[in-house]
Structure 1
Amino acid sequence: MKGRGAHFHFHLCLALLFALFAVGFGMGVKNQSVRCIAAEKRALLDFKEGLIDYDNSLVSWTSKEEECCKWKGVGCDMTGHVVMLDLRPRITYDIFGPGWTPISGEIGTSLLELKHLSHLDLSMNYFEKIPEFIGSLAELTYLNLSYSPLTGFIPHQLGNLSRLLYLDLSNGDFDHSLTSDNLEWLSHLSSLNLLKIAHASFKKATNWLQVIQSHPSLQVLHFEYCNLPEVDRSSLSRFNISNSLTILHLSSSIPLRPSTFPLLLNISQNLVELDLSYNHFFSSIPDTFDNMPSLERINFEQNNFEGGIPQTLGNLCSLKELNLRMTRLSGSLAVAVKNLSGCAKYSLESLLLAYNNFNGSLPSFVPFSSLRELDVGYNQLSGHFEDNFGDFSKLSVLTLEENRFTGPLPDLSRLSSLRKLYLKGNRFEGPLPLSIGEISQLVLLDVSYNSLHGVISEAHLSNLAKLQRLSISFNSLSFHPSSDWIPPFQLNFIGLASCELGPQFPNWLKKQANFSHLDISNSNISDVIPDWFWNLPSSLKFLNLSFNQISGKVPNIPLEFESLPVIDLNSNLFYGPIPQFLYISKVLDLSNNMFSGSLSFLCTTGGWTFLDLSNNLLSGGIPNCWSRMSEINIINLENNNLSGVIPSSMGSLWSLRSLRLRNTSLHGEIPQSLKSCTSLTLLDLGENKLTGIIPPWIGERLENLVVLRLRSNKFHGDIPSSLCKQQFLQVLDLSLNNISGTIPSCINNLTAMAHLESSEATIEFTYNYNDDYDRGDNHFTTTTDGTFDDHILVVWKGLEREYGKTLGLLRVIDLSCNKLSGEIPREIASLHGLITLNLSRNMLKGSIIKEIGQLKALESLDLSTNNLSGVIPESMSDLSFLSVLDLSNNNLSGKIPLSTQLQSFNATCYAGNPGLCGDPLNKCPNNGGTEIITESDEELFEPLWFFTGMTVGFLVGFWGVFGSLIISRSWRHRYFRLVNKLGDWIRLTMALETVKLQQRLRLKD
């Protein structure tokens, strides 16, 4: 990030330089009496007529104002000629972030009257076309049309602007793009120093690299999100390479071909900065950096490289920053570092290798005497973390997070320049070393998600006066400073989740007045929350006090935040009405408390993406004002004392993914407007008093449903066959209703239940919030993601249980306690991934389907209290995972098949079937007191008796003949004489027949 920061400041200075150069001599005219040219004033007014100025920013542009040089955005030179026109809108900030009101309309030809115009800035407005006539503004040196939804052709007339120094056509709209058949117009801009183009297509411009290389003055080039074709290599040998280019950015220029990669490493010997990030190259890094001796900054982030780091990179003696994050590099980190140990080891300041597949232990970085930032996070490094940075290290940022390092943390006090230490997500153990407190320059310390244990004392933190970000969450650490301890720092990020802080509320937080992130969840606090705590800073972006035993009433105080925060107070003992300042939030989780009052406050805000008020004492109806909350993803109001109907305005929540209104005493029908909520993944309306039929549009429109739970209501009518269209449905619970008719035979179309392989283990929703996060040596605002694993109550193995993290693994059909009739459809056997099937307490008849053994994954089967008859199919013995079975209270008969599983259940599972017998019930008796042989038993015993009889017959016949011969000698002699006579007779007969055959053959001849 340091490289990007330096690059940003460089271009900012360059842009300001161009701006000052263009109009510097004219800005002082506003304090003089020089009048603007009348013709140019009329031209400006005509230009205004073609604009739509929503913000009325051009109010000063009026014919009554004589001096047009005093108009907003207009600059004149000493002679009164307009030389500058800058209509960039003013940026404002509110809780939703930065915003501005753009000007739109057409860029009128009246600008041609401004013959001396040298600086034109229409950026950050809403202009869609680049007019051709701009190429006639011959005096232009600065042209900026960036961050507009530009589309269409880039006019080749721009090539007429021979004085142009700065050109920015960076399209700010991903849905629009510029196009150009060739870049010949660029070669005519002989004075151009800087060019930026984004979201453009140059599919036919095969000579684009030639134009860049041969340009006489171009120093800075940005092609971002551009479509660049494969280079015509034959054109590269017909011109001399220019050395003017110093900065080249071709980031996100997919599909930039791998064959182009080596050519870009030969583009200019004076190249200082090369950015080829986000191109997804599928190749190795070419070992051809010898021709780029001036290179200082390389950014290859987000590519698909093979192998490791080439040695020629280590020979770049000016190299300061090397960014190879997310490039899929692999191999030993020690080998990679060795390849960088040429002269680059003396100049390299920033080495970023995160999100790769490097393995091995952490090598020594002592030879890298200039190294200030090292990021090897998110790799596969292991072993102990040693101090490998020397006594005089300049290291300022060290990132080892999300690896497999083990053992204790070393003494890092010698890293006296260290400002940021990221050790999150490893397997470090033992106590936090006291030596951490000696690193007085430390601004950020993150050791979260490890196995550290022990006590953090005041001595660990007393010398860290510059500390701003502290994250020690998810270890086994405890922190109990004295009640009068005053921290030496002011933190903006406090992460102490799952640390032992209680039972008293931490008093030292009273002195932290500027934090934007506070997480003290699951920290064993069982205290009344002090009033001083609610004087929260306006910079708050994240607050998490969940899973404690904090009690008290949240006061209704007038708080305003700079942005919409994430607020999580769930699973505490808060009571009373919900205060107004909590309404203005992005994520609000107040579940599992004792908040009371009505939900009328829902109509006062509209910024939520996540709202969970479940398991409280809220009362009254759900207000019908949801149309203002179009961005909300998750709503959970279950287990409250609500009443009324489901409001129809919920149908306007087009991004809603989870709606849970379980056990809220709602009545009426499901509103038809909900069919517009096509993003719904989870719908739980169970345990209410809803009536009517199950709407067919649930199956036809809500095609993304994974969980449909309408349990325990008053629905009637048939199960709509349209539910069979739910290809993602994994949990279907329609139990405890008045549903009649038959089970649809199309049930086999529930394809998600037909697969044995599991889907994602959770039904996960992601929310985000802006976080002022330090990464590397730069402070910037990024988007931090939070996750929520949706959960639901499922009757599983006879008990109602809540499933969250493993909800996605379930495959459940529960149609129990209804009035279903007819037979169990054979098609249900196609749902091979089904884990729970409950059809109990209905009026089903017929037999248990013979194919039921195909449900190999079945763990729970309940068919009790129906009118099923016939035998238990033999295939049921194949259900080896079955752990819950209830076939009681039917008319089943015959013997229970033999299997390890079926005999493991007690007799109550088979009770109420008078004709059923066998283990674990009584033996199957007949009138004579012997076992009854069922049809299936006969099929088993028939081959058994056949082979038994054949074996006995063989033994009797064999020993009856040969046994007699062995016992009696006279019988033996007579037997062999008989055999000899029989043999002589056979030989004589064969000889006679042979003679007869020969005679017949002769007669035929």
Structure 2
Amino acid sequence: MEKLLAIELFILLLCLLISFSVGSRDGHLITCLASDREALMDFKSGLQDPNNVLSSWRGNNCCQWYGIVCDNNTKAVVTVDLHNPYLNSEFESSSGRYAFWNLSGEIRPSLMKLKSLRILDLSFSTFSGIPIPEFFGSLENVQYLNLSNAGFSGLIPAHLGNLSHLEVLDLHNVGWNKLYAENFQWITGLISLEHLAMNGVNLSLVKEWAAPLNQLPFIVELHLSRCDLSGYIPSMASLNFSSLAVIDLSFNNFHSTIPNWLVNISSLQHIHMSEGGLYGRIPLALGEMPNLLSLDLSLNYQLTVSCSQLFSKRWEKIEFLELSWNKIHGKLPLTLKNMTSLILLDLSSNAVVDGIPSFIGTESFPCRNPLPNMQLLDLSLNQLVGQIPYWLGQLENLVDLDLGNNLFEGPIPTSFGSLQNLANLDLAENKLNGTLPSSIGQLSGLSTFDVSSNQLEGIISEIHFSKLINLTFLDLSSNLFIVNISSNWMPPFQVRVLIMSSCILGPTFPSWLQSQKGIEHLDLSNASISDFIPNWFWMGMTNLAFLSLSQNQFSGEIPESLGETCNPLEIIDLSSNKFHGMIPSSLANCSVLKALDLSNNNLSGAIPKSLGQLQQLELLHLSDNQLVGKFPPSFMNLSYLQTLDLGNNELSDRIPSWVGDGFSDLAILNLRSNAFFGEVPHELSKLSSLQVLDLGENDLSGSIPVSFGDFTAITQKNQIGYDISMISQVGSYQNKLVVNAKGQSLMYTKTLYLVTSIDLSGNNLSGKIPHEMTKLCGLTYLNLSRNHITGSIPESISNMHHLLSLDLSNNQLTGSIPQNLSSLSFLGTLNLSYNNLSGAIPYTGHTTTFEASSFVGNPNLYGCPLPVRCLRHGDGHVVNGSNRGTSNDNEANDSDGFIDEWFYLSLGLGFATGLLIPFFILAMKRSWSDAYFDFLEVVIVKFLVFMRRTRINLGSTKIKPPHKE
């Protein structure tokens, strides 16, 4: 009994001890400083917390509140950490989780009452545009202050310089709200600072930034990217950066060389100065920095050094070397083999020449595996030649290999099949030949594979893809591949991008595509397919954003069902096939469609009005079909349209005047070879972005609108190729247009943005050429031929400096050809034939390059290159060999003949005078006379030959009959 009582007492005592222990612990938490608790509650009252993030901020236990940390001994609050926990470092304003956090409102000065506060983190909150409170400079014990991407804007308070204990200051901002500073003097007060991040802060007003930073003796990391710093990076006589390990000055607007003081900071481990506006020679001393791990000088464009000099240095610890988009030149040296720590080497977009050294992987190399740590090697966009070396297949850790856009020849090394860690392989745009190694099919980690635009050939079969289970991007285009895959093949991959254009894939439609459920980009253009498109394709490709089946022999109708699954489609290119029937009205359901190309088919019927619902449409090509009807009024809604190509159809209508008001972005308008009638609307001149206007081969009448001289994009010649370059490409779709110029039809694709053209040929236009049109100084092609245009060629046509082709033939133009036409130095094609032009052809300068065919059919023209050299009259009124001259013409011709006769008479008298005067002088000295008469004999012989040829030419001109065509 006593034993049982003892046990009960022990249990009771144990319970009391546990209760006391818990109570003590709770008491420890509850007993946070009352002043701190009141300060936090006041701070909370100023915040807007719609999602109740601070729901735990209640009661007396403030040390248990979310984001609050107290000192174990003093119970004082030492940390207020309210950063967005759903984000690590990057600003993701579109994130739903970011929106969920949504702390905003007012920051109360009650935070100053937290006397022991050492850490304050409000990063990635949403304080929409409020300034950083000045009282933050009074938080005297704060060691860590993070206000990055919290929505603050305005001037950074200089009071922050009072925080002498601050070790970390993070104000970096990649959002819309901009912080800025006027000077950096305040920063010298941060004597304990180790980490400064001001990425994205506007420092354009800061005149001196380097010197104040040099006064921070303990600074370890310095991040000043995207700060609008400009000018020359200042020099520094002495350096205090004894501990600096990281410096980031990338994405600024410097116009500077790399400062010499940089290479003297031996503690530096990471240098980031990409896209900074740097120029000049890359200091070779960078390669001798003992602790340097990463160097990024990419995208400066003007930095230069030879490869042999650059890689002759030790680069002891370098792991990441990014030098792309500069002017690094010369050959890759064998000394590359010494950089055994390299993880990343990016020399893309430079001027590296010759081949990749072929000896790196031989026995002379000290390590069995060349460059054993290499994971990314990018040598693309250079001028490398020769064969791809076998040793690249020995880089067993390689993840990313890009050798695209070079001049490599020969086969793809079979050793590539050993790169089991390879995820991305780009060999595009070279001159590689031979077959595709079947060993590529063993790369189970391969995600991206691009061998497009080479000279590869042979059969592609299932074995080439046997283990590519992670493949998401495949581009075999523009080679000579024959894809021979069985109809029941089940690919091991699910690609998102598949490009097999210009391969032989047909004649049947590839049925294995039915297994690809997530494909987003499909290009089977020019693939020798002559088949119907199966229904499962239209219904199953629900994720497609890009579809190109152009330049095949597809037949049948485009089904209405296309509109049921096309919601993600942005690009549809079915051009140059044999589709017939009507354009499906269901295409209106493709709400995000930006480019629709159905040109060069056999489509008929009217253009569906429903296409006017495609409000995001930018490019519309319906040319070369048999479409009938009118210009759809619903097109008025296509406010983003840049290209409207309806040429070579059977449309019959007046050109609506609202076209000039409705398409502010329209750069190309092609209505050629239809049956449009009526006058050309003068409102078209309101198309401020118009670059190409082709109304040729219609039934338009009236005069050319005077306002056609107001096309803004063509008059502003300095902006051509810049403002309107958007018309060349939308997404991955290459825009194209056939332009009738230089007497032929020219297809423009990548250079389309350079073309400016107006073609009104083959209509019934009358009246004069408006001299206002000559304000179009950026115009390259002008064709007004085969109309009924009268009047003269404007003298101011010489203002059209960029003209490459001018065709005014088959009109009723009169007057003379402007003499200043010869100043059009770019003019390569000129056709003024079959008009009523008269007078002498200006045969000087650039006009001497044109043949007679440019001027035939103008009876009153004379001079080179026409066989009629001049108009003369003799016994009768002879003009160009016919009796059509007027008395005024004859008088002019008589004057010309009179001038010719006096010219030769004066020439003879002058010659005789020059001969006789020295004769009497030379008779006095025999040696002079011998030399003189020897020289004179040569001159006389040459002169007589010249006179004989001149007479022969004059005689042939007088008796030659007029040339007619």
* TM-score, with structure 1 as normaliser: 0.68
Describe the SS at the equivalent of 1:135.
helix
CA separation of 1:834/1:76 partners in 2, compared to 1, >3 Å: closer, same or farther? Answer: closer
Give the Cα–Cα distance (whole angstroms) in 2 for the partners of residues 276 and 68 of structure 1. 49
896-905 or 225-234, larger mean C-alpha shift: 896-905
Say whether the 8 Å CA contact 1:45–1:62 is kept in structure 2: no
Report the AA paired with residue 454 of structure 1: G
Counterpart of 1:680 in structure 2 is 666
* 1:26-59 Cα deviation digits (max 9, x unpaired): xx99xx99999873564245313xx5x7xx4348
Which of residues 274, 277, 281 in structure 2 aligns to 1:277? 274
878-887 or 428-437, larger mean C-alpha shift: 878-887
* 1:252-292 Cα deviation digits (max 9, x unpaired): 2322632x62212223x332222111112112111223773
Give the Cα–Cα distance (whole angstroms) in 2 for the partners of residues 485 and 500 of structure 1. 18
Counterpart of 2:348 in structure 1 is 354
Give the Cα–Cα distance (whole angstroms) in 2 for the partners of residues 160 and 438 of structure 1. 62
Say whether the 8 Å CA contact 2:817–2:838 is kept in structure 1: yes
* 1:497-531 Cα deviation digits (max 9, x unpaired): 21111112223333444444433222122233344
Counterpart of 2:124 in structure 1 is 123
Which of residues 787, 811, 817 in structure 1 aligns to 2:763? 817
Counterpart of 1:380 in structure 2 is 383
Say whether the 8 Å CA contact 1:167–1:195 is kept in structure 2: yes
CA separation of 1:871/1:178 partners in 2, compared to 1, >3 Å: closer, same or farther? Answer: closer
Counterpart of 2:810 in structure 1 is 864
Give the Cα–Cα distance (whole angstroms) in 2 for the partners of residues 479 and 665 of structure 1. 41
CA separation of 1:594/1:893 partners in 2, compared to 1, >3 Å: closer, same or farther? Answer: same
660-669 or 136-145, larger mean C-alpha shift: 660-669
Report the AA paired with residue 131 of structure 2: K
CA separation of 1:871/1:667 partners in 2, compared to 1, >3 Å: closer, same or farther? Answer: closer
Q: Does 1:838 align with 2:794?
A: no
Counterpart of 2:432 in structure 1 is 428
Counterpart of 1:242 in structure 2 is 242
Counterpart of 1:199 in structure 2 is 201
Q: Tell me the CA shift for residue 298 of structure 1.
A: 1.3
Which runs of structure 2 are paired with 1:370-769 in the superposition (5 Å)? 370=372, 371-389=374-392, 394-413=397-416, 415-417=418-420, 419=422, 420-437=424-441, 442-534=446-538, 536=540, 540-551=544-555, 574-576=558-560, 578-589=562-573, 593-594=579-580, 596=582, 602=588, 607-612=592-597, 616=603, 619=606, 622=609, 629=615, 633-636=618-621, 640=627, 643=630, 646-647=633-634, 650=637, 653=639, 656-660=641-645, 670=656, 675=661, 677-684=663-670, 687=674, 694-695=681-682, 698-699=684-685, 701-710=686-695, 719-726=704-711, 728-729=713-714, 765=727
* 1:928-985 Cα deviation digits (max 9, x unpaired): 8995475476566556666889999999xxxxxxxxxxxxxxxxxxxxxxxxxxxxxx
Give the Cα–Cα distance (whole angstroms) in 2 for the partners of residues 693 and 815 of structure 1. 13
> Structure 2: any 5+ residue segments left out of the alignment?
1-24, 912-965
Say whether the 8 Å CA contact 1:764–1:789 is kept in structure 2: no
Say whether the 8 Å CA contact 1:301–1:327 is kept in structure 2: yes
* 1:869-920 Cα deviation digits (max 9, x unpaired): 6799999999996686652xx778999999997765999x67999xxxx989
Say whether the 8 Å CA contact 2:329–2:350 is kept in structure 1: yes
Give the Cα–Cα distance (whole angstroms) in 1 for the partners of residues 173 and 772 of structure 2. 59
Give the Cα–Cα distance (whole angstroms) in 2 for the partners of residues 815 and 76 of structure 1. 81
CA separation of 1:173/1:840 partners in 2, compared to 1, >3 Å: closer, same or farther? Answer: same
RCO (CA 8 Å, sep 6+): is it higher in 1 or 2? 1
Q: Does 1:86 align with 2:86?
A: no
CA separation of 1:919/1:210 partners in 2, compared to 1, >3 Å: closer, same or farther? Answer: closer
Give the Cα–Cα distance (whole angstroms) in 2 for the partners of residues 313 and 198 of structure 1. 36
CA separation of 1:46/1:314 partners in 2, compared to 1, >3 Å: closer, same or farther? Answer: same
Describe the SS at the equivalent of 2:326.
coil
Give the Cα–Cα distance (whole angstroms) in 2 for the partners of residues 875 and 159 of structure 1. 69
Give the Cα–Cα distance (whole angstroms) in 2 for the partners of residues 89 and 315 of structure 1. 43
Which runs of structure 2 are paired with 1:24-173 in the superposition (5 Å)? 39-40=38-39, 42-48=41-47, 51=48, 56-58=50-52, 75=68, 83-86=79-82, 88=84, 98=95, 101=99, 106-109=106-109, 111-112=111-112, 118-123=119-124, 125=126, 126-138=128-140, 140=142, 142-147=144-149, 150-161=152-163, 164-173=166-175
Report the AA paired with residue 633 of structure 2: I
Q: Tell me the CA shift for residue 132 of structure 1.
A: 1.1
Q: Tell me the CA shift for residue 228 of structure 1.
A: 6.3
Describe the SS at the equivalent of 1:315.
coil
Say whether the 8 Å CA contact 1:765–1:788 is kept in structure 2: no
> Structure 1: any 5+ residue segments left out of the alignment?
1-27, 553-572, 730-749, 769-784, 956-1005
Say whether the 8 Å CA contact 1:452–1:475 is kept in structure 2: yes
Give the Cα–Cα distance (whole angstroms) in 1 for the partners of residues 298 and 249 of structure 2. 12
Say whether the 8 Å CA contact 1:191–1:217 is kept in structure 2: yes
Which of residues 201, 207, 210 in structure 2 aligns to 1:208? 210
Describe the SS at the equivalent of 2:732.
strand
CA separation of 1:476/1:41 partners in 2, compared to 1, >3 Å: closer, same or farther? Answer: same
Q: Tell me the CA shift for residue 297 of structure 1.
A: 1.4
Which of residues 343, 368, 371 in structure 2 aligns to 1:369? 371
Q: Tell me the CA shift for residue 426 of structure 1.
A: 0.7
Which runs of structure 2 are paired with 1:893-908 in the superposition (5 Å)? none
Describe the SS at the equivalent of 1:498.
coil
Describe the SS at the equivalent of 2:352.
strand
Q: Tell me the CA shift for residue 718 of structure 1.
A: 5.7
Counterpart of 1:7 in structure 2 is none
Describe the SS at the equivalent of 1:454.
strand
Give the Cα–Cα distance (whole angstroms) in 2 for the partners of residues 664 and 70 of structure 1. 81
Say whether the 8 Å CA contact 1:147–1:171 is kept in structure 2: yes
Describe the SS at the equivalent of 1:146.
coil
The share of aligned pairs that are identical, in percent, is 25
Give the Cα–Cα distance (whole angstroms) in 1 for the partners of residues 287 and 838 of structure 2. 86
Describe the SS at the equivalent of 2:38.
helix
Report the AA paired with residue 358 of structure 1: V
RMSD: 5.4
Say whether the 8 Å CA contact 1:622–1:647 is kept in structure 2: yes
* TM-score, with structure 2 as normaliser: 0.71
CA separation of 1:938/1:855 partners in 2, compared to 1, >3 Å: closer, same or farther? Answer: farther
Give the Cα–Cα distance (whole angstroms) in 1 for the partners of residues 606 and 723 of structure 2. 34
Q: Tell me the CA shift for residue 474 of structure 1.
A: 0.8
Report the AA paired with residue 734 of structure 2: F
